[in-house]
Amino acid sequence: MKRFWATIKKEFLVLVRDWAGLGLIFLMPAVLVLVMTLIQDASFRKLDETKITLLYLDEDLDSLGSHVKTGLLEADYFEVVTEVDGKILTEKEILSQVAAGNYQIGIRIPSGSTDAIRLRGQQMVQQTILGIEAPPSDSSGQARILIYYDPAMKNSFRLTVRNALENFTSKIEAGIMFKALSDEMAQYLPEPPAPMTGAGSSISYEEIYATDTHTEIIPNSVQHNVPAWTIFAMFFIIIPLTGNLIKERESGLAMRLMTMPGNQFQSLGAKVFIYTIVGMSQFALMLILGKELLPLFNLPPLILGPEKTALILMALTTTLAATGYSVLVGTIARTHDQAAVFGMVSVIILAAIGGIWVPVFMMPNLMQAASQVSPLNWSLDGFYQILLRGGGIREVAENAGALFLFFAVTLTLAVAISTKSRRA
Amino acid sequence: MIPTPAIEINHLAKTYRGADEPALDGISLTVPEGEIFGLLGPNGAGKTTTINILCGILQPSGGNIRILGKDSIREHDAIKHIIGVVPQDIALYPSLTARENLKFIGSMYGLSGKNLADRVDECLHVFGLTKFGGRMVGKYSGGMKRRVNLIAGILHQPRILFLDEPTVGIDVQSRTVIIEYLKKLNEDGTTIIYTSHYMEEAELLCSSIAIIDRGKIITQGRPASMVGSQPGFTNLESIFLQLTGRKLRDY
């Protein structure tokens, strides 16, 4: 046991004097979590929590044009720009500004759009009461709203804006239509009817996050990103740990260790011990960052929920899996470069297929199947069980078990490969 | 009663995976206790392979070894306590001080507390490193590193010490200190197995030598009796060149 503690002390000293490695282990994850959470925060917020700046050109100069503008201004999530550099917008200016990427969206209401809606209302009444067929309409007779998009805009964002606009303008259209119908019908009735107004929606929507447990947790960018990027960072111990193993081999230290009392499990065990503490420290640091630092950047604080033991279990098995994988890569790789490149790229691939960047449910079927082989996915799923679904130890037992098994298999393989190389 | 030899090698063979030629082709050697035994040979002759097998770093393809009567494979754990190894590389942690390196290595051999601290201080003193014990090894000169590398092999006072090119690439002063210390260590009873490219050094230090080439022992004996035994055998270097040839050995 004394040898084990001596090896742990040695590993600790080697680690704490490796400033670059420490930066990679602690500073890089902190920056990563902060930056990624801030970047991805907008996509997790509701539309009305963000501001979309758009160019607006009203050529209609009637009800539709003015109502759309008023609606856009009243809605909290649009910032309406009607002039650029003191000049009133034109169709050409909108096009060039959006094409240049200065603005992501431009909206133009062509002249006669309100008239087109009114005409449609009149035709509907005439068709209903007098049986007069409406003349076949072409697109030139339709009310139109032209939306210009920056080609660099993400499709999902474009659809979000379009849906919001459609939802919003349909109410305005209904209002104009009701007014037109009301006016038209008044001509055919002996007594003028009470003015028709657009009725409020008869359907209301209520959003409920489905969990089996009562939880205070609200899914947001922090709840998603902190565990995701923490897992990613925990696997990045592959760089210092493989570096440590290869340095020992290249310097002849590994050989010296083989000639000294003690065994390989003791030597590797000390590395696993130290790097497990490192992983748990990384995790603790990320939790503190999520709870204390992120709110300073106008982000919601990380809510851990009541299942702290389950969180510790997941953190422990994740760090063990990362350590086992690093030891295996460090054993197989012949040089620093091999270990660094393979280690980094493999972790990035495992993170990508594991759902760290893009949720697994959004991936094509093939990649969804592939995600099942990534230990980062097992870990992420476990953390989501706790941090988003309010799960506990029972819910994450399978994930934690898989991660521990991965650790045991990778470590055993590393020892087997190392032993085999002595017989080579 | 015949004393147990320090090392007994019988038909030792080693062929690396994928290699056409064996690195060791059935060598047999006996080294009595108390010797300074030089294993000499050109590059790729099989010296380091022999030392690595003797130290338990590599496993042989055939043959057997007994170290102080113990089987090198079956009793490897027991052998670890009675041998010391000074590898050709500076096998030390550069970010640790000399004292931290030596304390770690001493702990692995079961030394602890005051005994360990005293032994580390004693060795650092002998090799003129007391003043620099708290400096990181990575900041040492080549000669200082070699001296700490040697201390790491003798800290636990092994009965047999293996040295693989212990003086390569160092200044004359450091080499002299190392050679003098090895002589003293041998006088105190430690058996030394030593490989080197420095023939003059081997001639000066070794009580017996073996010249190995292409995995085979081509001659062995006491340097003094070998020199002058045949025409042209004027010193160890001339014997070496006559037996192994002048052709460059790149492998």
Domain boundary assignment for chain A: 2-43+212-423, 47-186
Q: A211 — phi, psi (to 5°)? A: -140, 155
Contact predicate B190/B160, CB 8 Å: yes
Q: Between A414 and A203, where is the model more confident?
A: A414
Whether residue A291 is predicted with pLDDT greater than 80 in this model: the reply is yes
Q: In A, residues 1-30, which contact B (CB 8 Å cutoff)?
A: 2-3, 6-7, 9-10, 13-14, 17-18
- Closest CB from A3, A18, A423 relative to B108: A3
Question: What's the CATH code, domain A47-186?
Answer: 3.40.1710
Specify whether the CB–CB gap between B219 and B210 falls below 8 A. yes
For residue A369, give the amino acid letter: A
Under the banding of pLDDT at 50, 70 and 90, the label for residue B197 is confident
In tens, the pLDDT along B58-71 reads 889 999 999 999 99
Residue B132, pLDDT score = 92
For A222-278, the pLDDT digits (tens) are 777 888 888 998 898 898 899 889 988 888 888 888 889 987 778 888 999 999 999
Question: What are the strands, taking DSSP E only, across A59-187?
Answer: 78-81, 83-84, 87-88, 105-109, 146-149
pLDDT (tens digit, 9 = 90+) per residue, A342-396? Answer: 988 999 999 988 888 877 777 788 888 888 899 999 999 999 888 877 788 898 9
Q: What was the pLDDT predicted at B101?
A: 95
Q: How far apart are CA A33 and CA A101, in angstroms?
A: 28
For B56-102, what is each residue's pLDDT tens digit?
888 899 999 999 999 988 888 889 999 999 988 899 999 999 999 99
Contacts of A10 in chain B (CB under 8 A): 93, 96, 100, 104
Average of pLDDT values for A44-72?
78
3-class DSSP assignment, residue A217 = coil
Chain A residue with the nearest C-alpha to that of B94: A14
**Could you tell me which residues come within 8 angstroms of residue A117 by beta carbon, excluding any fewer than 6 positions away?**
A64, A143, A173, A176, A177, A180
- Examine the pLDDT at A215 and tell me if it is beyond 60: no
Residue B125 has pLDDT above 90, yes or no: yes
CB contact under 8 A, B109 and A17: no
A176-180, A214-218, A333-337, B152-156, range with the lowest pLDDT: A214-218
Q: How high does pLDDT run on average in chain A? A: 83
Percent of the residues in chain B that have a pLDDT greater than 70, as a whole number: 96
Model pLDDT, residue A191: 67
Alpha-carbon distances of B90 from A234, A286, B192, rounded to whole Å: 32, 39, 19
**Rounded to the nearest 10 degrees, what angle do helices A308-332 and A238-250 cross at?**
40
CB contact B108 to A (< 8 Å): yes
Counting Cβ atoms within 10 Å, is residue A48 exposed (0-12), middle (13-18) or buried (19+)? exposed
Question: What is the reported pLDDT for A408?
Answer: 95
- Asked whether residue B192 carries a pLDDT value surpassing 80, the answer given is yes
Nearest-CA residue of chain A relative to B16?
A424
Query: Which of A3, A257, A424 comes nearest B16 by C-beta?
Result: A424
Give the position of tokens 């080693």: B14
Provide the pLDDT for residue B122: 92
Mean pLDDT, residues A109-128 taken together: 81
CB atoms within 10 A of CB B130: 15
pLDDT at A210 over 70: no
Q: Which residue has the higher pLDDT, A134 or A349?
A: A349
**Strand-by-strand arrangement of the A52-58 sheet:** A78-81, A52-58, A105-109, A146-149
- Average pLDDT over chain B, rounded to whole? 87
CA dihedral A277→A279→A282→A284, nearest 10 degrees, is -70
End-to-end CA distance of chain B, in Å? 45
pLDDT tens, residue by residue, B35-53: 999 988 888 888 889 988 9
Is the per-residue pLDDT at A140 higher than 70?
no
Residue B36: which of B195, B151, B205 has the closest Cα?
B205
* Cα–Cα distance for residue pair B27/B39, rounded to 1 Å: 12
For residue A197, the model assigns a pLDDT of: 55
Q: Take residue B165 and report the two structure tokens written for it.
A: 């090119």
Q: How far apart are CA A214 and CA A235, in angstroms?
A: 32
Find the range with the poorest average confidence among A183-187, A395-399, B126-130: A183-187
Q: Which residue has the higher pLDDT, B32 or B231?
A: B32
**Type of residue found at A151:** P
Pick the closest to residue B189 from B83, B48, B33, B58 (CA basis). Answer: B33
Q: Please tell me the predicted confidence (pLDDT) of residue B251.
A: 57
pLDDT for A280 = 93
Mean pLDDT, to the nearest integer, of B107-131? Answer: 91
A33-42, A109-118, A172-181, A306-315, range with the lowest pLDDT: A172-181
Average pLDDT value for residue range A189-202: 61
How is residue B127 annotated by DSSP?
A: T
Over residues A107-117, mean pLDDT? 87
> Is the pLDDT at B218 greater than 60, yes or no?
yes
Q: Which of B17, B59, B93 has the CB atom closest to A253's CB atom?
A: B93
Could you please report the per-residue DSSP string of A373-389? T-HHHHHHHHHHHHHTT
Best interface-test mutation with A: which of B108, B115, B135, B146 has the largest number of A CBs within 10 A?
B108
| Contacts with A14 from chain B: Cβ below 8 Å | 93, 95-96
